[in-house]
Chains A and B, each alone.
Chain A
Amino acid sequence: MTADQNIRAEFRSTLGNFTLDTSFEAPIRGVTAIFGPSGCGKTVVLRCIAGLIRVKDGYFNIGGEIWQDRGQVFIPTHRRPLGYVFQEASLFPHLSVRRNLLFGAPHEHAADTPTIDFDEVVDLLRIRALLDRSPRNLSGGERQRVGIGRALLAQPKLLLMDEPLSALDRKTKGEILPFIEKLRDHFSLPIFYVTHDMTELERLTDHIVLLERGHVVASAALSELQSDPSSTLATSREAAVTLKGRVEASDPKFGVANVSIPGGMLITPPPPLPTDAIGEPRRIRILASDVSLARERPSRSSILNVLPARVVAMKPLDHYETLVVVKLGEDGEGARLLSRMTQKSWAELGLAEGQRVYAQVKYVSLGPGRGEPEE
């Protein structure tokens, strides 16, 4: 990875009794989550990237384009080709939805024609019916969709999203998440996404920058960090792995589908997938608490997914529980799964690193596909 194909960020500062000391690299494609507990400095980092906060010891380089280089270069916010989605949509209350959307859009006679088209955004976010209304009369979810559209229409080269769902209630959150998934898949635009929510992390992101008290603890691919027993992601109660799967076949009789993942094939539960879903890439999520291990292949079981694997690591979580990392496939050449079990199970099965096992997966959740209507 050379610097020109990456995003490189460094921000160091002392703000009151809070010390920010961050340095990380992220890929220039896909969604990078800036993840961590409240007060760890996630939003500060995002605001530094946008130039809304200016720290003296700061550096930001996106694909060779330098936005800040310590004291020598500092491009002001309004000259940075970015889009910013705030926690609360922050629409301009004195302008209609349409004029909000067009506020940052280049003029029609501008030299370079926009690559993100007005009608495309309006249809993708389903806001056509709102265009002539005032933002004052919109619901929270509608407002946030307009906020996202407004940021996109400014033709950003980098989209920054600061906990865009956290001000919304659970139901509305569930409605907006698919829109963000759609825009991730639809526009080839790098997105930095600040969140402390596990669901958003697993559904949206490819890369994580893990922050704790102003410091970068890790910066890695999501699947890598999820299955790294030294990371807090893997040891948390709701630890899970997210895998890239591909729909291979669907069984209309039972409503299940076959989805291939690196090192194995999974049967996913109903509802049945439409036939045109075959061949589609899908995200698969498997919780550590839904995976159990067996030394021999169970002959008769209600569990459909039994996959050969090898133990690659174990980590005691406390006196009684253990986290086990396995790699799928006879020789452990496939994807990593997590399994959470009692110390007693680990001891009685006589498990050890390198050992061949069968991973029994009780539940598999399947992410939405392209253009699939959200529920």
Chain B
Amino acid sequence: METLQHLWPPVRLTLELATISTMTLLMLATPLAWWLARSKRSWKEVIATIVSLPLVLPPTVLGFYILIALGPDGPGGAIANLWGARTLAFTFQGLVIGCIVSALPAVVQPIRNGFAAIGDRPLEAAATLRASPWKAFWRVALPLASPGLLSGAVLGFANIVGNFGVVLMIGGNIPNRTRVMSTAIFDYVETMQWREANILAGGMVVFAFVVILSMILIQKRFAGAGA
């Protein structure tokens, strides 16, 4: 069984990537979703469309632009300069950025729906009870939108674990640095390592099953306990 040791690095890297990216995504997507759900500005749907673009674009197109942005001549290169590196492309940090961009719509949409489903009333009630907008957000809006936040987190995590195209374009599939499960499977198939490919692919099937089942259960639990 020691022969399977080499399967661990891509699994660990995938989990690290998905965890870090999902946590960052929640911090970015929650205020964005709040603004999209509450703002009355007409151009907010333009922003919503830009956020949703990764859903429709081929991963190669998305990956191509992110690669350029991360490269030595893009903003990513400038950031990398801060610690003396030349580029963010083909690095773990670059992967995190790429995954955040491509998973953003999957996270923003359910959180936005969660906020929209609350309606104005609980926030009005909070305001008549001396709650500042800040307190109303933390003590009323966020707890009431928690099913949306949970859905967003699960979908975002799953999206990142399942990301192949963007990860391949900007990560380069470097073992121990940017080789995650999805790209590792691709390698094993190319080199005819069927057993390894089977184990990783089977694991992904089980993972996808758990994700979808938990989503259904989350929605069922909260739908039954509506306001």
Contacts and interface: CB of A to CB of B under 8 A. Distances in A.
Interface of A: 50-52, 76-79, 82-84, 86, 90, 92-94, 103-104, 136, 150-151, 154, 160
22 contacts: A52-B124, A76-B127, A78-B128, A78-B129, A78-B132, A78-B136, A79-B130, A83-B128, A84-B128, A86-B125, A90-B125, A92-B140, A92-B144, A93-B226, A93-B227, A94-B144, A104-B128, A104-B129, A104-B130, A150-B129, A154-B130, A160-B128
Contacts of A136: 225, 227
User: A-B pairs with the 9 shortest C-beta distances?
Assistant: A104-B129, A84-B128, A77-B127, A93-B227, A94-B143, A90-B125, A78-B127, A90-B121, A103-B129
Interface string B169-213: 000000000000000000000000000000000000000000000
A136 to B, nearest CB: 6
Interface of B: 121-122, 124-133, 136, 139-140, 143-144, 146, 225-227
Contacts, number: 60
Nearest to A47: B124
A154 to B, nearest CB: 5
Nearest to A79: B130
A103 B139 CA distance: 10
A86 B132 CA distance: 19
Contacts of B126: 78, 92, 103
A353 to B, nearest CB: 49
A51 B127 CA distance: 9
A136 B140 CA distance: 16
The interface centre, meaning the residue of B126, B133, B136 with most chain A CB atoms within 10 A of its CB, is B126
The interface centre, meaning the residue of B130, B131, B136 with most chain A CB atoms within 10 A of its CB, is B130
B225 A84 contact: no
B119 to A, nearest CB: 10
B interface: dominant SS? helix
Contact of B125 (A79, A84, A94): A84
Contacts of A104: 128-131
Contacts of B140: 92
A154 B226 contact: no
A77 B127 CA distance: 6
Contacts of B128: 50, 52, 77-78, 82-84, 104, 151, 154, 160
Nearest to B125: A90
A79 B125 CA distance: 13
Contacts of A160: 128
B127 A154 contact: no
A104 to B, nearest CB: 3
B131 A78 contact: yes
Contacts of A77: 124, 127-128
B15 to A, nearest CB: 31
A51 B132 CA distance: 13
B38 to A, nearest CB: 15
A92 B227 CA distance: 8
Nearest to A160: B128
A76 B123 CA distance: 13
Contacts of A151: 128-129
A84 B133 CA distance: 17
Contact of B122 (A90, A150, A154): A90
A106 to B, nearest CB: 8
Nearest to B139: A103
Contacts of A103: 126, 129, 131, 139
Contacts of B124: 52, 77, 84, 86, 90
A150 B125 CA distance: 10
A77 B126 CA distance: 9
A93 B125 contact: no
A86 B133 CA distance: 19
A93 B130 contact: no
Nearest to A78: B127
A136 B129 CA distance: 20
Given A78-B132, A86-B121, A93 B127 contact: no
Nearest to A94: B143
Contacts of A94: 143-144, 146
